[in-house]
């Protein structure tokens, strides 16, 4: 056997031609809708973005051929990896070449810092062909540098002038697209002739609204996690001896946990947004888990699965207040940073918090308290992927069950195992849905650029219909913005879409969760993503999207 450099699936995926909206296959004309407004804080957002506020929504329609002068474009991958990033770039490349074969594409290396530090490569057809339909962001790398200083914008403009770049595409989540919007506004205000277009990326699924039906990567990541959960459930149902506590990525919203619950029907799934709405404490959550464990033990079932969203801790109201205080306290705090030992840091924090938050902080196991004070990401967020909530819940549930046992109210056996699924899914080979969607987003971005647009996010909608019926166009990024507190200051940011408790996906889950908790035969085993085969097996979007669109 010859030494392999690629798997057979990698090779086969290289020649997969992504499906795309019919309108993108010919010449397009732009149709502009009415002027738009930001989702909230209209006056403040308008003042901060005088040049890019209020622009109309754009949809593409079939049009006549016309000449497009050659342009050079730069692309940046920003934030956490999400399956399909490479296809946004291949769609962008193919779209640019279809408009004018002289168009060139440059990739800035390592995220937004590549623009500032002038690190880039030219993305030729040869490079692009190596990465078509693959997972990962390794074609140019990614990073979380926040673009917020005039000096950074100017350094970016400098390299654009040097390379003749007329437009930059930023592929990122809510924070990165906020950056894109700020940059678009700055370049327009300065009249630099550099356009900025955003693309909605994040496995977390929380960058969505009426015009952005889902962020890319969510579909693939959830399908990978659901496969793993299904495998664990089959093991649990075979061995009948372990309780599996599975934490799932999703820095803030619980979309991933909810989607995985819809796909795999676990015994329990905690939804952070519900915890917050019901003003629940950590003890309330543990009590709910323990109730299910006891009920199943009474039925002779000493095993099960609990899904836990990564962001849970920030949604428990008392913890949320504590984290908000810690964010403000630790932002640029030289005194805290100078302390050496964990104990010194703990004492310092306890003394600086409000009495209520100080008490909550004191009651936390030391490990979790320490995790809450670790470095923030560049956007000032707690790095929830480092907080082991699943272990905290296991520890608390075990204590409670031991007490019930001593009182003769629980006779089962509790053998817990913990898992954290996040990095396993972020670079998976994109599902057909994500491969098609991302390619279309990139292609759409190329057209928005050729039409001179800036401050827009590439938008592809009607996603539960077959791809040729998808609707392509652009949404002004300012339309998605509101004011929020970040790093201790009010800032304009894209509003995060949390799980809606009145939305169809949650309602479906709420209706069925009791039977999933009690019954022995409710598990679903979704199996691995299928790339070839019938459309109902290979091309389905997420259950969240199907339910949201009444399907
Ligand atoms: P983005 O919001 O940048 O897409 O990243 C999402 C995410 O995968 C979260 O689910 C997770 O909490 C975080 O990134 C982890 O970040 P890191 O890659 O820095 O560990």
Residue 74 has pLDDT above 90, yes or no: yes
pLDDT of residue 518: 87
Question: Residues with beta carbon inside 6 Å of ligand 1?
Answer: 79-80, 82, 173, 202-204, 249-251, 310, 384-385, 426
H-helix or E-strand containing 306? Answer: strand 304-309
Which residue among 174, 180, 251 has the greatest number of ligand 1 atoms within 8 angstroms of its CB, and so is best to mutate?
251
* Rounded Cα–Cα distance for residues 192 and 208 (Å): 30
pLDDT tens figures, 108-167: 999 999 999 999 999 999 999 999 999 999 999 999 998 889 999 999 999 999 999 999
Residue 279 has pLDDT above 80, yes or no: yes
pLDDT tens figures, 234-265: 999 999 999 999 999 998 999 999 999 999 99
pLDDT of residue 378: 66
> CB-based contacts of 171: which residues, under 8 Å, 6+ apart?
75, 76, 77, 78, 85, 88, 89, 198, 199, 201
The CA 385 to ligand 1 mean position distance, Å, reads: 8
Nearest ligand 1 atom to the CA of 310 is: 12
Residue 540 has pLDDT above 90, yes or no: yes
pLDDT of residue 210: 87
Q: What is the mean pLDDT of the chain?
A: 94
Alpha carbon 529 to chain centroid, angstroms: 19
Residue 375 has pLDDT above 80, yes or no: no
Task: Give ∠ CA 186-191-195 in degrees, rounded to 5.
Answer: 65
pLDDT of residue 489: 84
pLDDT tens figures, 304-363: 999 999 999 989 988 888 988 888 888 778 888 888 888 888 889 888 999 999 998 888
The CA 533 to ligand 1 mean position distance, Å, reads: 32
Catalytic positions, written as ranges: 204
Alpha helices, H only, 164-311: 174-189, 218-239, 255-264, 272-277, 282-298
pLDDT of residue 369: 85
pLDDT of residue 242: 98
Encoded tokens for 129? 């062909």
CB atoms within 10 A of CB 279: 10
Report the percentage of the chain scoring pLDDT > 90. Answer: 83
Bridge partners (DSSP) listed for residue 421: 248
For residues 391-401, give the mean pLDDT. 93
Nearest ligand 1 atom to the CA of 251 is: 12
CB atoms within 10 A of CB 458: 30
């Amino acid at each position: 056997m010859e030494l392999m450099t690629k798997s057979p699936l990698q090779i086969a995926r290289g020649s997969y031609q992504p499906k795309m909206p019919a309108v993108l296959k010919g010449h397009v004309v732009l149709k502009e809708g009415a002027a738009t407004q930001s989702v909230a804080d209209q006056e403040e957002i308008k003042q901060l973005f005088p040049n890019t506020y209020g622009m109309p929504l754009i949809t593409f329609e079939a049009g006549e051929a016309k000449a497009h002068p050659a342009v050079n474009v730069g692309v940046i991958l920003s934030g956490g990896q999400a399956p399909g990033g490479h296809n946004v770039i291949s769609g962008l490349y193919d779209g640019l070449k279809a408009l004018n074969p002289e168009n060139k594409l440059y990739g800035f290396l390592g995220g937004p810092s590549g623009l500032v530090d002038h690190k880039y490569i030219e993305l030729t057809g040869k490079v692009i062909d190596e990465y078509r339909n693959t997972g990962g962001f390794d074609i140019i790398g990614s990073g979380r540098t926040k673009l917020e200083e005039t000096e950074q914008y100017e350094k970016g403009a400098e390299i654009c002038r040097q390379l003749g770049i007329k437009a930059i595409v930023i592929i990122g989540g809510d924070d990165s697209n906020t950056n894109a919007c700020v940059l678009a506004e700055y370049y327009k205000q300065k009249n630099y002739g550099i356009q900025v277009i955003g693309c909605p990326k994040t496995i977390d699924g929380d960058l969505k609204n009426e015009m952005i039906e889902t962020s890319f990567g969510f579909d693939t990541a959830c399908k990978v996690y659901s496969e793993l959960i299904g495998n664990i459930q089959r093991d649990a149902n075979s061995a009948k001896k372990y309780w599996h506590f599975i934490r799932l990525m999703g820095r803030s919203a619980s979309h991933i946990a909810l989607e995985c619950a819809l796909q795999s029907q676990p015994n329990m799934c905690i939804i952070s947004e519900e915890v917050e709405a019901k003003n629940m404490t950590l003890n309330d959550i543990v009590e709910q888990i323990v109730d299910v464990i006891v009920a199943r033990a009474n039925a002779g079932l000493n095993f099960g699965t609990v899904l836990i969203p990564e962001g849970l801790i920030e949604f428990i109201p008392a913890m949320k207040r504590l984290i908000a205080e810690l964010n403000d306290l630790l932002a640029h705090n030289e005194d805290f940073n100078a302390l050496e030992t964990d104990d010194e840091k703990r004492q310092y924090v306890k003394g600086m918090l409000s009495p209520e938050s100080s008490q909550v902080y004191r009651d936390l196991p030391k490990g979790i308290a320490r995790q809450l004070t670790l470095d923030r990401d560049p956007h000032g967020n707690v790095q929830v992927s480092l907080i082991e909530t699943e272990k905290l819940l296991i520890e608390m549930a075990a204590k409670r069950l031991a007490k019930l046992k001593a009182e003769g109210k629980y006779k089962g056996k509790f053998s817990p195992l913990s898992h954290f699924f996040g990095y396993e899914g972020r670079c998976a080979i994109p599902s057909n849905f994500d491969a098609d969607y991302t390619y279309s987003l990139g292609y759409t971005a190329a057209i928005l650029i050729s039409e001179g647009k800036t401050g827009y996010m590439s938008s592809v909608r009607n996603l539960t219909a077959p791809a040729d019926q998808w609707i392509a166009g652009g949404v002004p990024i300012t339309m998605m913005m509101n004011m929020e507190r970040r790093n201790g200051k009010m800032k304009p940011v894209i509003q995060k879409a949390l799980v809606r408790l009145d939305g169809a996906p949650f309602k479906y889950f709420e209706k069925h969760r009791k039977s999933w908790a009690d019954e022995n035969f409710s598990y679903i085993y979704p199996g691995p993503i299928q790339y070839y085969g019938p459309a109902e097996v290979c091309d389905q979007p997420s259950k969240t999207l199907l339910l949201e669109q009444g399907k």
